[in-house]
Structure 1
Amino acid sequence: MWFKCLILKEVLNELKEIEPSRAWMNAIMQSSSEIETTGMSVELRPNFWKQYPLDQLSNAEWEALCDGCGLCCLVKLEDEETAEVAYTKVSCKLLDCKTARCSDYPNRQQQVPDCIQLTPERLSTISWLPPSCAYRRLSEGKNLPSWHYLNTGSRQSVIKAKKSAAGRCISETEIDEEQIEDYIVRWIR
């Protein structure tokens, strides 16, 4: 059964008639301002992340898995000899370092051509996703972390759990590219 969630302020009150988990409902309501700007309705099935494999999610469900940590938007360095990946605290120019949210998500690939569009098909080929990433965890057969907003109902829980780049990164536009190695961090585990 589909849970139809029209993310429009006048419709949110009708959602109380259907009883998905309270945390899930709160999360959807909190994220509504982001989704409603598209002017489209979004269909999400209750507890979809527990019920369906990643390749059976709708686009809206796939996007809803993102906890907004911003870690995928940080510059990573790969050791040529060992293939080890090191994260830096340097972010893509579009990442708002205060909120860890993309400042132009709909147009990010036009503005940043090397921005990777994560899909279920590409997931297995991307080795640098952090261990806390919902996409990675679910693809590995793990649950969403306890602090994920779909569990807590709060988009701030990723920040409170210290799993976010919010307040911890610097834009690539503010550094000298030659000094990138000076910005390697160890807090992403």
Structure 2
Amino acid sequence: MTDGSDSDSPLPFWKAKALEALSADEWESLCDGCGRCCLVKLEEEDTGNTYFTDVACFMLECQSGQCSDYENRKRHVPDCVTLTPDLVRTIDWLPPTCAYRLVADGEDLYWWHPLVSGDPSTVHSAQISVRGKVKANDRQVGEGEWEQHVVRWPVRVPKAGRRK
């Protein structure tokens, strides 16, 4: 099991450091690979409310929850959002289980997060990831059909994934 601690600090890095102080590797390791942030989201103009769909970015590999070309994703999807500490604190569409959001709010990671469990598959066994839940990608479903794909599961914590 990995706890992210080093010899100088008894706390794991996500508890000991502010988001701005994380190294590039530490920052990237906060991503649990759930894939929820890669789902198409709709924003209601009148209210500003955000709604998730079960339509994923065409670059998302839904079995692994990883981008098929992460390093070059902006070349394929120019409006792909690159998270920063400032963005994490201001956007409202990060799932409640998102480690970036949790760390920014001073909360601990869930038991199934790979940094806590030491196993990248626990995000799937805890039913947090998009595995088996995505119906199509954004190249298979037209923009005018996205409203028919609105779902609530991305903003919920399934029973299997709740804190122990």
TM-score (norm 1): 0.75
Aligned-pair distance for 1:113? Answer: 0.3
Counterparts of 1:9-158 in structure 2, within 5 Å, are: 23-24=1-2, 46=6, 47-158=12-123
Structure 1 position 165 matched with structure 2 position 130: yes
* Match 2:144 to one of 161, 168, 178: 178
Distance, in Å, in 2 between the alignment partners of 1:166 and 1:105 is 18
SS in 2 for 1:173: coil
Query: Quick one: which amino acid aligns to residue 145 of structure 2?
Result: Q
Query: Quick one: which amino acid aligns to residue 123 of structure 2?
Result: V
TM-score (norm 2): 0.86
Give deviations 1:101-139, integer Å, cap 9, x for gaps. 100000001110000110112222211100000000111
The answer to whether the Cα contact below 8 Å between 1:97 and 1:171 also exists between their aligned partners in 2 is: no
Give deviations 1:70-97, integer Å, cap 9, x for gaps. 1111011111122111100111111012
The answer to whether the Cα contact below 8 Å between 1:71 and 1:165 also exists between their aligned partners in 2 is: yes
Q: Which has the larger radius of gyration?
A: 1
Runs of 4+ in 1 over 4 A off after TM superposition: none
Percent same amino acid among aligned pairs?
Answer: 46
Query: Quick one: which amino acid aligns to residue 148 of structure 1?
Result: H
Distance, in Å, in 1 between the alignment partners of 2:93 and 2:44 is 12
Aligned-pair distance for 1:45? Answer: 5.4
Number of residue equivalences: 149
Query: Quick one: which amino acid aligns to residue 148 of structure 2?
Result: D
Aligned-pair distance for 1:171? Answer: 1.1
Query: Quick one: which amino acid aligns to residue 2 of structure 2?
Result: W
Distance, in Å, in 2 between the alignment partners of 1:94 and 1:65 is 20
Query: Quick one: which amino acid aligns to residue 58 of structure 1?
Result: S
Structure 2 stretches of 5 or more lacking a match? 7-11, 157-164
Which structure has more RCO (C-alpha within 8 Å, separation ≥ 6)?
2
Aligned-pair distance for 1:162? Answer: 1.1
Query: Quick one: which amino acid aligns to residue 24 of structure 1?
Result: T
**How much is the aligned-residue C-alpha RMSD, in angstroms?**
1.4
